[in-house]
Structure 1
Amino acid sequence: MREPTAVIGILAAILFTYLIVAPIVSLLADAFRVQFADSMRIGQSAGAFTFYNLARVFKSIVAPDILWYPLIHTISVALGAMAIALVAGGIMAWLISRTDILGRKWFATALIVPYMLPSWTIALAWSAVFLNRTVGGQPGWMESLGFEPPDWLAYGQLPITVVLALHYTPFVILLFGNALRSFDSQLEDSARMLGARASVVARRIIIPLMRPSLLSALTLIFAKCLGDFGVAYILGAPVKYDVLATSLFRSVTARQGGEAAVLAGVIILIGTISVLIDARLVREARRFVTIGSKGSMNRAQRLGSWRLPMSALAALMFTVSVAIPLVVLFLSTVMRVPGQFAFDNFTWDYWIGHDLPTTALSTGILVTPDFWQAAWNSLWMVGIAAVCAGVLGVLVGYVVVRTPLKSIGAYLRYVTFLPYLVPGIAFAAACLSIFAVPHGPIPALYGTAAILILALMADQMPFASRAGISAMMQLGKDPEEAAQVAGAGWWKRLVKVVIPIQKGPLAAGILLPFISGLKGLSLVIMLATPGTDLLTTYAIRLADFGYSQAADAVVLMLSAIAFFGTLFLQKATKTSLASGLGG
């Protein structure tokens, strides 16, 4: 036990095989098994091998509604979001990284705030403003002001595309901005001295060198849009505008296990391809190297008379993507009738009121036991999952770097990365396929906190394990060998030497999964029940009931926790999301 890395590696491999590989394999196997609900219809016993599920999803009379229309919607929404994010994010990245706009450092952080918030925060704000009576319920702001928004503006492809683009624009700002900051401005100066116009410099010098970072940002946006559930559910479900994520959710809730397995397999395949493309682009990016002095690499371009208009453009971007959505959500929580700005229409009842005229919500959010129960569930469930992921990430890193069994190290490196290839909604379906029924001594976990903790922990392992591996690769063997010479066993060396030295990466491996788990919805929407609601699922249930003011209040509280938690994470780990932009 003085060198138990091999034993720990084998135990970790068994654990992650059960938590990650087994659910995915079980889910994909369900695509070729007769489900109990279909056994009478197709005349085969439940569990028998079949191609019925594939035929139903790909070429039956209902295939267009199950797969093809949602697939077309998913691709069109993702492409639209990528295009908008590319234009908006590219301009903002250039302004922050290479110009002297006013408030440059402030914008470097402010413009990535949308990614610190749940993706469907802007969707709820959009719904509050443009909601119409197509699906009943309370009127939206525009309708209250005398203008009835058309369906194409209130629901469907346009709002989903715009909202996803605003949420994921920070990807372009971060990746493209970091590349621009590393770009040697002497190359531009040389081209201009030779008489090249600005368009030629951009087309022949800047864009070719920036292409890997731009394409990497776009593939990441595509992968994220593929598995995003909340935005499409809020803005698409009222008019039955399904994407793959919501179609999968409908299949699961309709207890069509085989159909859900095929859809999840399609999502996993597309997600895997997009991530592998991104990995290839990152490798190609290493071939692009510019040489120049440090001072010449980050010289800000003076905008002159354009400085004020460009600063106003950056302020407009922040206003549209952050300020307006949050202000709309807050105002909606203090209005009895949305969009009516009369003084007697404002109230704090949805925050602290009693005896509200609603059936299932008689008190304000802050005095509702269900809200505090969901908040407590979020803190302790996500907290336990994050701590477990962080500790396991350090152990994985230790085993990968130190174990003499290189095959175990390689297996752990790849198996802990596997959830990154699987969009959250598909991984949730995978967890349901194996944890919703008893297996040997392990009982059925659906409806318990255990299934949420296990799913959250497994889903966050790519980040935690990469943090652990990176940290251990930077830690030499000398401190441990000195402790071993002094007679310290492996456990004492881990506690007294390794963890104190690597407390920064360990904190990041815990805090990052915690913040990500708090605001995530796609993974937990199919796993949580009313008794195990988190803040995310509680807000969605309130929105489903038509209690929009209460749902918006919950989302504001959740956004505050996610935002300030992210700031705390950056301060605790002495890192900054905006560090690549000079912020």
Structure 2
Amino acid sequence: MANFASIASHARYALPQGLPLKIAVLAVIGILIAAPLARILFDTLAPETISAWRDVVVSPLSRNLLWVPLSNTLILGVVVAGGCVLIGGFLAWLVVMTDVPFRRTIGLLATLPFMIPSFATALAWTSLFRNSRMGGQTGYLEGLGLSIPDWLSWGMTPTLIVLTAHYYALAFTVIAAALATVNSDLVEAAQMAGAKRGRIFMGIILPVALPAIVAGASLTFAGAVSNFAAPALLGLPVRMQTMATRLFGMIEIGQTARGYVIAILLIVVSAVFLWFGNRVISGRRSYATITGKGGRAKRFELGAARYPLFALAGTICFLTTVVPVVVLIASSLAPSSSALFSNWTLHYWTGLSTPSIAQGQAGVLHNPFIVSATTTTVALGVVVAIVGSVLGLMIAFTLARHRSGFLSGAINQLAFLPLLVPGIAFGAAYIALFGAPVGPFPALYGTFTLLVIAGTAYLVPFSVQTGRAVIQQVSGNLDESARLTGAGFLRRMIAITIPLASRGLAAGSLIIFVKIMRDLSLVVLLFTPTTPVLSVLAYRYASEGFAQFANAITVVILVISIAATLLANRLQAKSQPWLKN
């Protein structure tokens, strides 16, 4: 009886299971995610800076500071989202639901454009379509004697094309996954009842795919409005401003308060559209198509349209995947963009400093600044991948093993908050929080540490998704058994979870590595000469007219990113060998 009373007394005062872990995880992501975003808001509400809101929103300067950039941003978001849904949806329909030839090849090529950084596609565009308006080198087409109009070389039109070419792969992936759930028995039953293809599409396929279409539109809209690289390379030369480029400009010239106001408004624009998309999805009726019976994979027969549609799909994939890479490689070898495929030279790769070429710039492999940037970028990718994976695993473990409670909900909301925040706005938030000393801690601006912290925080949603996949591979019974024997949290993670899911964890780390390697929007405001990164260096070279160096650096990024992605895919396949049975 005494033992029972002792146990009851101990249970009364013991902390709930998992509470210390929840508090620790919430504190970490609160500092990494919530604190920077709160700081930029508070900085704009201080007595000496609150006037920045009036300057941006209602002053005579507001037209150029906000309303023109906002209108350009919304045009980019809406048109790119519409174009991505049309192109991605068309390719997804062909690959998943028709008998088009080489479906797997089209499906593979349709996912590749998102692997190519948007600034790489923008650089390839300028190598082809640049005219003489800005001076310097002209593009390949003008070198052939064609007259390229300004609207095709610079401004809104090329930016729309480049962003659509970059983001349609995202819409394709989301919509294809939804179309794969359409039970072909329903389609066949409608055909047997005499329904025409239009009726089948509107009555069966479209309702099933609608959530994915809205999700694809929301994601591509958010990507387009927050993209910095394409508007900066193709729009700024003709003074076409978006909110992302205007934010960058304000921070660059020291108008930080105005820049923070623009950052807050950019976050609101992105978040509102994503919220609206979720609202549309959650408010729709349910269309269940997965039953207890397996549906046969019966595809639409295209008949005489098979090869024309294949040619159209192949052309889209070729122009958005193969052409940019070929143009970038050729431009890094050609003395001039106007003659891409003649007089190739390795000088921009292996040449030493020559005063008569590129103002004495040495080739990529002999340029100490580029070599240093490569080392810094790879190191940044490795450190962010490791730290981010560990943090994501801890968050995923907390959410998987201790689901209930207010703290779990707060952790889940904060962990995915960066998805609503454009990269350049997130970078501005980190400047606001860590750009000056905080208590006993020194200012981190211009340090490698700040790049690591910002990169880790921005990629928390992806690391958590990876962590969830890893946690699902390990039975909770193993962890519970170890806990009952007295093993602590770290001991259980190191001895059980990580070894059993090491391949999946490594694959997820490589995906994070690729994302930070090719990201420009996040790091463009954090870039300093002491912490050079390849993506910003490529942008700087392109802005200063050194197209060959910019394209060569971009090729380096592509090679590293593609190699890491292929390795990640291989590890993911090996981490689930039962899928091969």
Do the structures match in fold with TM over 0.5? yes
2:167 aligned with 1:160: no
Task: Write the letter of the residue equivalent to 1:24.
Answer: L
Deviation at 1:161, TM superposition (A): 0.5
Task: Specify the alignment match of 1:327 in structure 2.
Answer: 326
> How many Å separate the matches in 1 of 2:263 and 2:495?
44
> How many Å separate the matches in 1 of 2:312 and 2:279?
34
Deviation at 1:248, TM superposition (A): 0.5
Task: Specify the alignment match of 2:127 in structure 1.
Answer: 128
For residues 28-43 of structure 1, what are the structure 2 equivalents within 5 Å? Answer: 28-33=41-46
Task: Write the letter of the residue equivalent to 2:533.
Answer: L
- Conservation of the 8 A alpha-carbon contact between 1:245 and 1:425: yes
Deviates more, 1:110-119 or 1:280-289: 280-289
In the superposition, relative to structure 1, how do residues 494 and 76 fare at CA in structure 2: closer, same or farther (>3 Å)?
Answer: same
Superimposed CA distance per residue, residues 371-404 of structure 1 (whole angstroms, 9 cap, x where no aligned partner): 2211111111121112111101111222233359
Deviation at 1:152, TM superposition (A): 0.7
Task: Write the letter of the residue equivalent to 2:430.
Answer: C
For residues 9-408 of structure 1, what are the structure 2 equivalents within 5 Å? Answer: 9-33=22-46, 48=47, 51-280=50-279, 283=282, 287-291=286-290, 296-340=295-339, 343=342, 345-356=343-354, 357-358=356-357, 362-403=361-402, 406-408=405-407
> How many Å separate the matches in 2 of 1:510 and 1:527?
23
> How many Å separate the matches in 1 of 2:280 and 2:502?
32
> How many Å separate the matches in 2 of 1:5 and 1:449?
33
Task: Write the letter of the residue equivalent to 1:347.
Answer: T
Deviation at 1:322, TM superposition (A): 1.0
Deviation at 1:75, TM superposition (A): 0.9
In the superposition, relative to structure 1, how do residues 434 and 484 fare at CA in structure 2: closer, same or farther (>3 Å)?
Answer: closer
SS of match in other structure, 1:26: helix
Give me the CA root mean square deviation.
2.4
TM norm structure 1: 0.91
- Conservation of the 8 A alpha-carbon contact between 1:521 and 1:536: yes
Deviation at 1:294, TM superposition (A): 6.2
- Conservation of the 8 A alpha-carbon contact between 1:425 and 1:522: yes
Task: Specify the alignment match of 1:413 in structure 2.
Answer: 412
Deviation at 1:295, TM superposition (A): 5.6
Task: Write the letter of the residue equivalent to 1:381.
Answer: L
Task: Write the letter of the residue equivalent to 2:476.
Answer: K
Task: Specify the alignment match of 1:429 in structure 2.
Answer: 428
> How many Å separate the matches in 1 of 2:101 and 2:472?
41
TM norm structure 2: 0.91
> How many Å separate the matches in 2 of 1:70 and 1:547?
28
Deviates more, 1:130-139 or 1:292-301: 292-301
Structure 1, gaps ≥5 residues long: 34-47, 577-583
SS of match in other structure, 1:367: coil
2:450 aligned with 1:465: no
SS of match in other structure, 2:72: helix
Deviation at 1:349, TM superposition (A): 1.2
Deviation at 1:56, TM superposition (A): 0.5
Task: Specify the alignment match of 1:569 in structure 2.
Answer: 568
Task: Write the letter of the residue equivalent to 2:435.
Answer: A
Task: Specify the alignment match of 1:44 in structure 2.
Answer: none
> How many Å separate the matches in 1 of 2:572 and 2:396?
18
- Conservation of the 8 A alpha-carbon contact between 2:66 and 2:243: yes
In the superposition, relative to structure 1, how do residues 300 and 26 fare at CA in structure 2: closer, same or farther (>3 Å)?
Answer: same
> How many Å separate the matches in 2 of 1:392 and 1:282?
31
> How many Å separate the matches in 1 of 2:573 and 2:337?
42
- Conservation of the 8 A alpha-carbon contact between 1:182 and 1:297: no
Superimposed CA distance per residue, residues 40-97 of structure 1 (whole angstroms, 9 cap, x where no aligned partner): xxxxxxxx25541111101111111111111111111122212222222121111111
In the superposition, relative to structure 1, how do residues 285 and 476 fare at CA in structure 2: closer, same or farther (>3 Å)?
Answer: farther
Task: Write the letter of the residue equivalent to 2:78.
Answer: L
Task: Write the letter of the residue equivalent to 2:558.
Answer: S
Task: Specify the alignment match of 2:496 in structure 1.
Answer: 497
- Conservation of the 8 A alpha-carbon contact between 1:220 and 1:274: no
In the superposition, relative to structure 1, how do residues 404 and 88 fare at CA in structure 2: closer, same or farther (>3 Å)?
Answer: closer
> How many Å separate the matches in 1 of 2:410 and 2:469?
16
Q: How many residues align?
A: 561
In the superposition, relative to structure 1, how do residues 264 and 105 fare at CA in structure 2: closer, same or farther (>3 Å)?
Answer: same
In the superposition, relative to structure 1, how do residues 545 and 177 fare at CA in structure 2: closer, same or farther (>3 Å)?
Answer: same
SS of match in other structure, 1:366: coil
- Conservation of the 8 A alpha-carbon contact between 1:209 and 1:288: yes
Deviates more, 1:410-419 or 1:379-388: 410-419
Deviation at 1:471, TM superposition (A): 4.3
SS of match in other structure, 2:295: helix
> How many Å separate the matches in 2 of 1:341 and 1:419?
40
Superimposed CA distance per residue, residues 316-351 of structure 1 (whole angstroms, 9 cap, x where no aligned partner): 1111101111111111112112222685x3222111
Deviation at 1:131, TM superposition (A): 0.9
In the superposition, relative to structure 1, how do residues 571 and 285 fare at CA in structure 2: closer, same or farther (>3 Å)?
Answer: farther
> How many Å separate the matches in 2 of 1:404 and 1:163?
42
Task: Specify the alignment match of 2:509 in structure 1.
Answer: 510
> How many Å separate the matches in 2 of 1:485 and 1:341?
67
Deviation at 1:202, TM superposition (A): 1.8
Deviation at 1:192, TM superposition (A): 2.6
Task: Write the letter of the residue equivalent to 1:502.
Answer: A
Task: Write the letter of the residue equivalent to 2:22.
Answer: G
> How many Å separate the matches in 2 of 1:60 and 1:156?
26
Deviation at 1:242, TM superposition (A): 0.7
- Conservation of the 8 A alpha-carbon contact between 2:72 and 2:242: yes
Deviates more, 1:171-180 or 1:3-12: 3-12
Task: Write the letter of the residue equivalent to 1:346.
Answer: W
Superimposed CA distance per residue, residues 181-216 of structure 1 (whole angstroms, 9 cap, x where no aligned partner): 111222222223333222222223322222111111
- Conservation of the 8 A alpha-carbon contact between 1:6 and 1:405: no
In the superposition, relative to structure 1, how do residues 13 and 439 fare at CA in structure 2: closer, same or farther (>3 Å)?
Answer: same
> How many Å separate the matches in 1 of 2:17 and 2:404?
11
Deviates more, 1:1-10 or 1:103-112: 1-10
SS of match in other structure, 1:574: helix
> How many Å separate the matches in 2 of 1:49 and 1:250?
21
- Conservation of the 8 A alpha-carbon contact between 2:137 and 2:338: no
> How many Å separate the matches in 1 of 2:265 and 2:485?
55
Task: Write the letter of the residue equivalent to 2:32.
Answer: L
- Conservation of the 8 A alpha-carbon contact between 2:370 and 2:534: yes
> How many Å separate the matches in 1 of 2:56 and 2:221?
23
> How many Å separate the matches in 2 of 1:490 and 1:161?
49
Deviates more, 1:157-166 or 1:281-290: 281-290
Task: Specify the alignment match of 1:546 in structure 2.
Answer: 545
